[in-house]
């Protein structure tokens, strides 16, 4: 999907890229359908890590999304028992659930675990989640908080609906256990990736919780930075050839699934009014929410722009005031000097009169496609990721670049 920071202004109507050919995406696997599931978080983030494997090793690998989903359900039931019923069992989660599950259980290729037993191969977790919640209700009603027993019952449900996950498998002629596959084939340093958000609910340059239902395990590892740093880091990462696992809102009025495009319409909120405060208000009144995982794979630039809206706020003059603060605070967060460097290099390269538009997978509806997980997608052909040298920069996910909800969280490599 092409997401543009433009809107109707004196300079003309919002600009829509002609199509996927307008972008130079980093390498990514073709999108795959998640069908009737709320597991965009796994589809989009798995696609992100597939791109990371290619960027780091040159290997093209297709991973199982439902492997991660299976064990995430197990962990949801585990927490439900430990919290004596005060924990959510649902389909949703966050992008940082993927590395958390992989650290505990490893990863497997798609060919080793499809995670679907239906004849048509379409995922549908409505009945599965209903059964898990029936089990949870029974546990609570009978005060049966035996964790081992409850997890065994939950796995009977999961195995019947998704199939039993493998303990060993063969990949390209070599036998692996899931953790061996993660270490020897994927070769990912999962501790090199962080979550970044921008919200007024948590002090800047500190870590805190992203307070949404999908953060069901109450993770407090999100790094909170000002909107200018957040957005500038995202732009700098994508322009440097990285891809990003982002969380966005596909219920905004500017999204048109038939056009595979999203804009900021003036009838919703004029772009020049979008800033840290107005964005926070939209989060608080639920006009904008985190309801969709998306894999951001590339960007392009608008030929002409009047510098209105968010681009006007994200400029070197302002960021240069933020960077010293980041340098003083780096011991409390990640090394913000690296982020500032990425942002300044990116902004110095953007001529006045241009804006940043993004080729992002994503869109509306649950029966859509991975990569861009769930919604309309660019269906672009793969191209090699740009290799870069120098300090490592932000490479993870943020809220979608739909300016009205330049959003809450990001997964990033530093």
Tens of pLDDT, residue by residue over 6-37, are 334 444 455 677 777 888 899 999 999 999 99
The pLDDT assigned to 304 comes to 55
The answer to whether residues 105 and 177 touch, using CB atoms and an 8 Å cutoff, is no
Question: By three-state DSSP, how is residue 340 classified?
Answer: helix
Record the tokens describing residue 190, joined without a space: 């999962």
Q: Could you tell me what percent of the chain has a pLDDT over 90?
A: 57
The pLDDT assigned to 300 comes to 85
Residues whose CB is less than 8 angstroms from the CB of residue 303 and which lie 6 or more positions away in sequence, other chains included:
15, 354
The pLDDT assigned to 414 comes to 31
Where is pLDDT greater, at 294 or 331? 294
The answer to whether residues 2 and 358 touch, using CB atoms and an 8 Å cutoff, is yes
Got the DSSP string for 215-260?
-TT----EEE--HHHHHHHHHHHHHTT--EEEEE-TTSTTEETTTT
Choose the most confident range, by mean pLDDT, from 35-49, 250-264, 303-317, 366-380: 35-49
What average pLDDT score do residues 234-257 get? Answer: 89
Verdict on whether the full-model pTM lies above 0.85: no
The pLDDT assigned to 14 comes to 54
Q: How far is CA 289 from the centre of its chain?
A: 14
Taking 70 as the threshold, does the pLDDT of residue 152 lie above it? Answer: yes
Tens of pLDDT, residue by residue over 265-287, are 888 888 888 899 999 999 999 88
The pLDDT assigned to 348 comes to 53
One-letter-per-residue 3-state SS of 2-36:
EECCCCCECCECCCCCCCHHHCCCCCCCCCCECCE
What average pLDDT score do residues 71-99 get? Answer: 97
Q: Give the pairing type, strands 255-256 and 222-224.
A: unpaired
Give backbone dihedrals phi and psi of 362, rounded to 5 degrees, phi first.
Answer: 150, 175
Taking 80 as the threshold, does the pLDDT of residue 185 lie above it? Answer: yes
Taking 70 as the threshold, does the pLDDT of residue 65 lie above it? Answer: yes
What average pLDDT score do residues 101-125 get? Answer: 97
Distance CA 313, CA 274 (A): 10
Taking 60 as the threshold, does the pLDDT of residue 334 lie above it? Answer: no
What average pLDDT score do residues 405-409 get? Answer: 33
The pLDDT assigned to 101 comes to 98
Q: 15-19, 230-234, 392-396 — which is least confidently predicted?
A: 392-396
Mean pLDDT, rounded, of the chain? 77
Give backbone dihedrals phi and psi of 110, rounded to 5 degrees, phi first.
Answer: -60, -35
Taking 90 as the threshold, does the pLDDT of residue 296 lie above it? Answer: yes
Q: How far is CA 49 from CA 27, 154, 187, 305, 312, in A?
A: 11, 28, 11, 34, 32
The pLDDT assigned to 36 comes to 96
Taking 60 as the threshold, does the pLDDT of residue 324 lie above it? Answer: no
Helix axes 227-239, 316-329, angle to 10 degrees: 100
Residue 2: pLDDT band (50, 70, 90) is: very low
The pLDDT assigned to 351 comes to 47
Residue 310: pLDDT band (50, 70, 90) is: very low
Residue 350: pLDDT band (50, 70, 90) is: very low
Q: 15-29, 60-74, 233-247, 300-314 — which is least confidently predicted?
A: 300-314
Total Cβ atoms within 10 A of residue 280: 17
The pLDDT assigned to 325 comes to 37
The pLDDT assigned to 303 comes to 65
What average pLDDT score do residues 165-193 get? Answer: 98
The pLDDT assigned to 307 comes to 47
Taking 80 as the threshold, does the pLDDT of residue 358 lie above it? Answer: no
Domain extent listing, the chain: 2-35+189-413, 65-186
Q: 8-17, 33-42, 52-61, 122-131 — which is least confidently predicted?
A: 8-17
């Amino acid at each position: 999907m092409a997401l543009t920071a433009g809107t109707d202004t004196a300079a003309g109507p919002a600009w829509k890229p002609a199509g996927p050919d307008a972008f130079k995406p980093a390498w990514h696997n073709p999108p795959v359908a998640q069908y009737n599931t709320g597991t965009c978080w796994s589809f989009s983030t798995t696609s992100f890590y597939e791109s990371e494997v290619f960027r780091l090793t040159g290997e093209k690998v297709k991973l199982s999304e439902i492997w991660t989903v299976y064990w995430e359900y197990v962990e949801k039931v585990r927490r439900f028992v430990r919290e004596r019923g005060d924990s959510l069992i649902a389909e949703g989660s966050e992008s940082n659930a993927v590395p958390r599950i992989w650290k505990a259980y490893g990863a497997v290729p798609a060919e080793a675990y499809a995670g679907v037993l239906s004849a048509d191969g379409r995922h549908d977790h409505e009945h599965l989640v209903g059964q898990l919640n029936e089990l949870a209700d029974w546990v609570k009603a009978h005060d049966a908080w035996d964790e081992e027993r409850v997890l065994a019952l939950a796995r009977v449900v999961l195995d019947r609906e998704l199939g039993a996950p493998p303990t060993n498998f063969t990949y390209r002629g070599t036998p692996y256990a899931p953790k061996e596959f993660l270490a020897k084939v994927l070769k990912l340093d999962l501790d090199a990736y962080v979550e970044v958000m921008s919200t007024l609910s948590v002090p800047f340059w500190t870590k805190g919780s992203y307070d949404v239902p999908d953060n069901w395990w109450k993770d407090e590892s999100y790094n909170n930075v000002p909107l200018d740093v957040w957005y500038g880091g995202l732009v700098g990462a994508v322009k440097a050839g990285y891809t990003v696992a982002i969380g966005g809102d596909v219920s905004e009025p500017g999204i048109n699934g038939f056009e595979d495009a999203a804009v900021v319409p003036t009838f919703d909120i004029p772009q020049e009014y979008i800033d840290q405060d107005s964005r926070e208000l939209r989060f608080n009144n639920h006009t904008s929410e985190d309801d969709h995982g998306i894999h951001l794979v590339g960007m392009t630039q608008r030929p002409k722009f009047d510098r209105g809206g968010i681009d006007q706020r994200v400029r070197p003059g302002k960021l240069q005031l933020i960077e010293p603060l980041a340098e003083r605070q780096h011991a409390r967060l990640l090394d913000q000097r690296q982020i500032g460097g990425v942002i300044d290099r990116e902004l110095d390269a953007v001529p006045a009169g241009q804006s940043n538009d993004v080729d992002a997978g994503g869109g509306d509806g649950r029966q859509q496609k991975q990569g861009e997980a769930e919604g309309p997608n660019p269906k672009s052909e793969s191209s090699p990721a740009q290799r870069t040298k120098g300090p490592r920069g932000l490479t993870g996910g943020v809220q979608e670049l739909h300016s009205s909800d330049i959003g809450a969280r990001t997964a990033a490599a530093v």
